[in-house]
Amino acid sequence: MDFFQQVYKGKNNWWRYLLLSLVVFTPFFLRIFYFLFVEVKTKPTNLDSNFLLFKGLQQYVVFFVVLILGVRFLHKRPIRSLFTSKKKIDWWRYIFGVSSWGLFVLIYFSLNYFAYPESYRWNFKLVPFAILFLISITLVPIGAIFKELFFSGYLLQVFGVLTKNKWTAIILKSILYVLAVGISPIFSKVGFHVLFFYLASSLFTGIITALDDGVELAMGMQTANNIFAILYITTTWTGFQTNALLLDRSEPKVLFLVYIPVLLFLPIYFFLLKQMYGWERVKEKLSGKVIEPSIKNINL
């Protein structure tokens, strides 16, 4: 059984999908909107960014628990089936995803810094940064894992069983991801370019999840993205600034922000992963049909 077929280990009535999706997605969407457009803009001056970030991230713990419980008790299927079709969740894949994609993100930020050194100011303050670091290694991974579990795990499997087509499922979950996270102050600065970035990134995580029969690598990528974005560079033009090492005071540079990661880093990273994990039958895994397995194979 591949990753898409894991849904057949449980209950697949349409109302179960609708109920859990609404219970998880609605507050997730509203929380992002409220955090970016209400809480951040109206925060009292005595609340620092670390406290505000902590408040925002702790919500993901609740979302994560609700999603896990929903799969286990509403769909009545093993929690492992949400993560992978392997015999057990491969946390080494997650660690590799964090470290390897983290290296790409570090290269990306460094290229940006050395290309425009005049745009950056050293922003390091020991105590605020130490607190930010603790938040980043505790709550940020939970938020990142939740996002990929929900979009590249649950929704990918939902759309797979509903449409019976893997590529259609990958596209639909990516569009929904763009709708969820695309509403941010960065849109007013970068425009539709940022939607292209979000769409390409979500398509990529959907593709590697389908090829690897598990969401571990995608969770690692999301974790690396979020940790480095919070710790390394903050900007004056986003809706929320952190106590990061560097402050970018310039206007966003579309080339570095969108096209270098999408057109250069993602293809290189895909080739690296394909060679490392020996992915085969790529066309079948990405565009094949989602077929209900026989009763004999469901419990495998």
pLDDT-based confidence at residue 247 (cuts at 50, 70, 90): confident
Q: Are 143 and 226 in contact (CB under 8 A)?
A: yes
pLDDT digits (tens, 9 = 90+) for 118-155: 888 888 899 999 999 999 999 999 999 999 999 999 99
- Reported as type and span, the H/E element at residue 120 is strand 120-122
pLDDT-based confidence at residue 20 (cuts at 50, 70, 90): very high
pLDDT digits (tens, 9 = 90+) for 43-64: 554 567 888 888 888 888 989 9
Report the mean per-residue pLDDT for the chain.
86
- Reported as type and span, the H/E element at residue 121 is strand 120-122
| 25, pLDDT greater than 70 | yes
CA distance 53 to 158: 31
Tell me what pLDDT residue 26 has: 79
Tell me what pLDDT residue 32 has: 62
Segment 97-121 shows an average pLDDT of: 89
Please report where in the chains the tokens 């209950």 appear, as a residue. Answer: 11
Tell me what pLDDT residue 19 has: 93
pLDDT digits (tens, 9 = 90+) for 197-235: 889 999 999 999 999 999 999 999 999 999 988 898 887
pLDDT digits (tens, 9 = 90+) for 179-203: 887 666 565 556 677 788 889 999 9
Tell me what pLDDT residue 101 has: 96
CA distance 248 to 119: 6
pLDDT digits (tens, 9 = 90+) for 267-287: 999 999 999 999 998 998 999
Contacts of residues 270-279 at CB distance under 8 Å and 24 or more positions apart, as own/partner, are: 270/204, 270/207, 270/208, 272/100, 273/208, 273/212, 273/217, 274/211, 277/211, 277/212, 279/211, 279/212
| 111, pLDDT greater than 70 | yes
Q: Which pTM value belongs to this model?
A: 0.90
pLDDT digits (tens, 9 = 90+) for 85-101: 999 999 999 999 999 99
Tell me what pLDDT residue 203 has: 97
DSSP string, 233-297: EEESSSS-----SEEE-SPP-HIIIIIHIIIIIHHHHHHHHHHHHT---HHHHHHSB--PPPHHH
Tell me what pLDDT residue 229 has: 84
Of 270, 178, 205, 197, the closest CA to residue 3 belongs to 205
pLDDT digits (tens, 9 = 90+) for 290-300: 998 876 456 55
pLDDT-based confidence at residue 114 (cuts at 50, 70, 90): confident
CA distance 198 to 255: 15
The alpha helices in 7-122, defined as continuous H runs, are 14-34, 49-69, 80-83, 91-115
